[in-house]
Structure 1
Amino acid sequence: MSESLSIIQLGDRILRQKAAWVENVHDARIQKLIDDLITTAAQANGVGIAAPQVAESVRLFIVASRPNARYPNAPEMQPTAMINPKIVAHSTEVSKDWEGCLSVPGIRGLVPRYQAIAIEYIDRNGKLQKQELTNFVARIFQHEYDHLDGVVFVDRLESHLNRITEEEYQKTVVKNT
């Protein structure tokens, strides 16, 4: 049975570590972690979550885009576990959009990300998957991928002026979309 896990916050040293490679996708601990991450993201209104955010420093994250209170315009998709992911190519086009993070509550930042990426990852069944992602889902992937290398979205801000509170984001940005 899956459970909601505690999400560690900015300042915890695990968020700044490079996560370890997952050696055995079929390990019961990894399979339970996948289920727990899916539950945790859903209960926290996240559109993705990385294992380091729950103090498990392994190269695994969930992309789970769906409309919710934090991202009302997010596209709907099935939660997908991505193990040992890689970005194999990316567009030259970069766009900025607002991001938040479950490990940095109350803050949003205007973050530049590649508009389109080609990725590879191992799925929860141990199969290699190759995909091209664009727009919001590509942004989620890049955000979660950063967590595996100890990078948090605030590190990507081009200016401290590109940071606002969650409350202001909901009041001005979401309201105007």
Structure 2
Amino acid sequence: MKGLADIILLGDERLYQTCESLSFQDDALIQEMVTDLHRALFQFREIYQAGRAIAAPQLGYMKRLIYMNIDGKATVFINPELVFLSDKMFELWDDCMSLPNLLVRVKRHQTIHIRYQDQDWNFHTDILEGDLSELLQHEYDHLNGVLCTMRAIDEKSFRWKPTANPPK
């Protein structure tokens, strides 16, 4: 059973590795990962009041799976592929559970098409725009060993998150 305490933090070499695809034989592992990713995401939310999705490698599962939960609706992306990236880009301050108090200024594609399988192995292609596009690009990067720190616009694109109760 994994949770918040098991989230791998910046500097751990596993965050820079490319993940392996999943297959039908991995059904039990997929259920274990989804349970653990859900637990870690909700524990993270309790402490940081943030978090919409998490990638399997952030808990040490070096597999191509993303778990997203927005407004109580969970989506599991198995073996996702970005099949379209718009030319139009936008800038934002990105955050990450693996570097929980750091923001990184990055550029992301405004629109993406993502192809994936669900837990019943059905294929889907979703078109995502804006913040959901950014979110899935961020999580997809984790599957390829890419962190938002590696996508920083420049050397001044880092800042600490403001805290509700700053130290005195």
Specify the TM-score bucket, using the shorter chain as the normaliser: 0.7 to 0.9
CA contact (8 A) 2:115 2:126 kept: yes
The equivalent of 2:116 in structure 1 is: 121
Structure 2 residue 47 is the aligned partner of structure 1 residue 42: no
Change in CA separation of 1:25 and 1:121 when aligned onto 2, cut-off 3 Å: farther
Give the residue type in structure 1 aligned to 2:22.
V
Cα deviation code 1:108-135 (max 9, x no counterpart): 0111000110110011121111110011
What's the Cα RMSD here? 1.9
Structure 2 residue 140 is the aligned partner of structure 1 residue 141: no
Change in CA separation of 1:51 and 1:25 when aligned onto 2, cut-off 3 Å: farther
List 4+ stretches of structure 1 deviating above 4 A: none
Using the TM superposition, give the Cα deviation of residue 59 of structure 1 relative to its aligned residue in structure 2, in angstroms. 0.3
Cα deviation code 1:26-58 (max 9, x no counterpart): 621211211221221122022110010001100
User: Which is further off, 129-138 or 39-48?
Assistant: 39-48
The equivalent of 1:57 in structure 2 is: 62
Using the TM superposition, give the Cα deviation of residue 3 of structure 1 relative to its aligned residue in structure 2, in angstroms. 5.5
**Structure 2: where are the runs of 5+ without partners?**
46-50
- Structure 2 CA distance for aligned equivalents of residues 77 and 112 of structure 1: 28
The equivalent of 1:4 in structure 2 is: 3
- Structure 1 CA distance for aligned equivalents of residues 79 and 115 of structure 2: 8
The TM-score normalised by the length of structure 1 is 0.83
Q: Which of 97, 101, 111 is equivalent to 2:96?
A: 101
Using the TM superposition, give the Cα deviation of residue 25 of structure 1 relative to its aligned residue in structure 2, in angstroms. 6.6
Percent of aligned positions that are identical: 32
CA contact (8 A) 1:81 1:124 kept: yes
CA contact (8 A) 1:26 1:125 kept: no
> Which structure shows the bigger proportion of residues in strand conformation?
2
- Structure 1 CA distance for aligned equivalents of residues 25 and 88 of structure 2: 34
CA contact (8 A) 1:21 1:84 kept: yes
- Structure 2 CA distance for aligned equivalents of residues 99 and 60 of structure 1: 20
